Structure 1
Amino acid sequence: MSEAQKPLLEPQAVMEAAAKLRTLLLEVKKVIVGQDLMLERMLVALLARGHVLIEGVPGLAKTLAIKTLAEAIGASFKRIQFTPDLVPADLLGTRIYNPKEATFEVELGPIFANLILADEINRAPAKIQSALLEAMQERQVTIGHQTYRLPDPFLVLATQNPIESEGTYFLPEAQVDRFMFKVWLDYPAFYEEMTVVERVSSKFEPVEVVLSGDELRELQAMADRVHVHPAVTEYAVRLTRATRDPGEVGLAQLKKYISYGGSPRASVNLILGAKALAIVRGREYALPEDVRDLAPEVLRHRIIPSYEALADEVRLEEVLQKIIAATPLPKVHLGDPYREARPSVESPSA
C-alpha cells in the first residue's frame, strides 16, 4: 500500500497513544532521575523496532533504566553480561545430546526475550558480535540447521563504558550500524544527583505494568501509519548525504575530517524514528523538526573520522552539529490532514 493510500490516523487515537506513553515514562521516572533524552529515545526505539547503544561512564543508571522500562511494559527481560570469554552458544543457545532418546535437543539461549540488556557490549569478542548481527537485523537465530524466530517485540539495549580499554574490543562498523540510536549520557545536574542519593538511601517505589505487549504492538502499528511528507524524507536524505560530502551544504572545508559518512540505513532510521517520535509527541504526522532532533543520535555512530581529524583534534560531535545547522530545514505546510490532497511544501528559500 502506497503512502497516499494509507488511511490517516485519527488525532484522538494518537493523543490517547501519547498519553499512554507519558504514563509509561512517569512510571519509569519513579526510579530513574533525569536522563530525559535517553528515556525518550528508548520509547522511540520501542515504537520504531530499533536498537539503542548507550554510552556513558559507570554509575549513570544505564542498566537500571533499561530494566525498569522492561518491568513497566511487562515484557520478558534478560540481562547478558558480556565478557571476553563469552561464546555464541552462551547467547543464542546450543544443541544438547539426549542419550536416552539418542537425539539432539535445542536449548534456547537468553537472547530469546523481548528486551535484551547487552551490558558492556564492547567486552565481547568478534564471534559474539557476529552472532548478534543476525538477531538484531533479521530478528531470528540459527542454531545448527534450524532457524528460530525471536519474540515480538524484540529490542537490544546495549551499554558500553567509554573510559575503560582493558579487556575491551572496538565494535565492528557492521555491528554499530545496526543500532538505530547511539545515546551519550552525561553526569546529572546537582539537584538530580541529590534526588538520586535520597532515593537510593531509602527504597524505590515498586514499578507497575502500565503497557502490555499487545498495546505496544498496537502503538508500533500506529507509528507505521504516521504520515511523512516527501519534503521530510528529502530533508532526512540531505542530512545523511551531507555527512558523506559536507560540501553539499556549503561546508566543503569539513570533508577532510570525514572518512565515511552515514549509509542509507541512516536515512531510513531518521524517518522511522521521526514517525515514532511524532506519536510520542501526540501527532499523526512527522515534521522536519522530528528528524532534526533525532539526527545526533542516528548519525554520530555512523560517521568515521579521518586521520586528519584525529591529528587536528577535531571533535566529531562538533562536525555533526555544524552539518545539522547548515542543512536547511524545509517549511512544510500541513493544511487539513483529512483533505484528499496531501500537504504541500514551501521552498526552503521562501
Structure 2
Amino acid sequence: MTTAPITPVFDGHNDVLLRLWTSAEPNPEARFINGEPVGHIDLPRSKTGGLAGGLCAIYVPSPSKELNAEGNFETPAHSDALNTTLAMAALLTRIEMAANGGFRVCRTASDIRQSMADGAFAAVFHIEGVEAISDGLDELYVMHQAGLRSLGPVWSRPNIFAYGVPFRFNSSPDIGPGLTDAGKRLIKACNELKVMIDLSHMNEKGFWDIAKLSDAPLVASHSNAHGVCPHSRNLTDKQMDAIRDTGGLAGLNFGVSFLHSEGVRDLNLPLSEMIRHIDYMVERMGIDHVALGSDFDGTAISTEIGDATGLPKLIDALRAHGYDQESINKIAHDNWIRVLERTWGA
C-alpha cells in the first residue's frame, strides 16, 4: 500500500470512449461517471488512482478483424469513419455535460492545470487515425472548433494520409511508404491550427517526413523503447533522439506486448519491465522527455497495474527504483503539460 500522497497522472492515451461506445450496455455517460466493473477507466477509479486526465482517443475500428493480403487491417470508409468519430465526440461532450464539473474537455494547458487543481478529470479530444478527415481537410477545421487538439494521422493501417506501421514483433518500424501529398497538407494544417501531431502508429518513413515538416515538438503518445522490446510499434534510438532534440516526449505504453523483451502477451508482467523501458528512455532522451501513455481500455496490461486504480503502484515502483519526486512529477504530468503548452501556445 502506498504511504506517500498520490501523485496526479496526466496520461497520453486512453480508449475509454471506444469501450463505452461499443458496449451494449445503456447510459454510457452514467456508467463512466458512476463507475462499472469492466475496463480500465471510469471517474471513480480515476480519482482513486490519481488519474487526473489525459488524451481521450477516438478510434474507428476496422471493418474486419482479419488481416488483408498485404498484412494490414482494413481501413474504414470515410463516411463510416466520420459517423463513428462524431458519435464518440458527442459522447465526450455528453460526459462533460453530465459530470457536473467533474470532467472537463480542455483546449489549453491552462484548462488542464485548472481542472487538475479543481479535482476534475482533464480530458483532451484526440483522434487516433483520421479516416474521418477527407483530402480537403474540411472536417479538421470543424472538429478543431469543436475542441480537437491532438491527432495521430494513422492507426496501424494505411489511409489517404500515410501508412500506419503494422503490428510486428522483432521488426524495425521501417515498413511501407511515408506521407502522401494529402498527409503533408494535414501536417501543415495541424501546425497552423496548433493541433498536436501524435507519432505513435507512424511507420519510420512517415515519422521522418513529419520531423522534416513540422515546427512543433515531436510526440509519440504511447510508444516504448525498441532497444528493449523490438516491436515495430516502438521507437528506435534515432527516433528518440529526434523527439528529444525538438523538446517533445514519448509516453510509456502499458501494453504487455510492447513491453516484454520477447513480445510475449504476459499478463503477469512485473512492474520492473515498465521501469526498464522508462530507464532506457530517460537515459536516451533525458527526464524532461519521458511521460506516460497507458493505452488504458485499448490494450492488454499487466495485472500488476490492473486498471487506473493501480497507477500508485507504478509511482511507488519509480520511487523505490531511485526516482525523486521532481522526476516523478515530470513523468507523471509535468512533461505532458509543458509539451502541450508549447504546441498549443497557451
Tell me if TM exceeds 0.5.
no
Could you say which structure has the greater relative contact order, defined with CA pairs below 8 angstroms and 6 or more residues apart?
1
When Rg is computed on C-alpha atoms for both structures, the one with the higher figure is 1
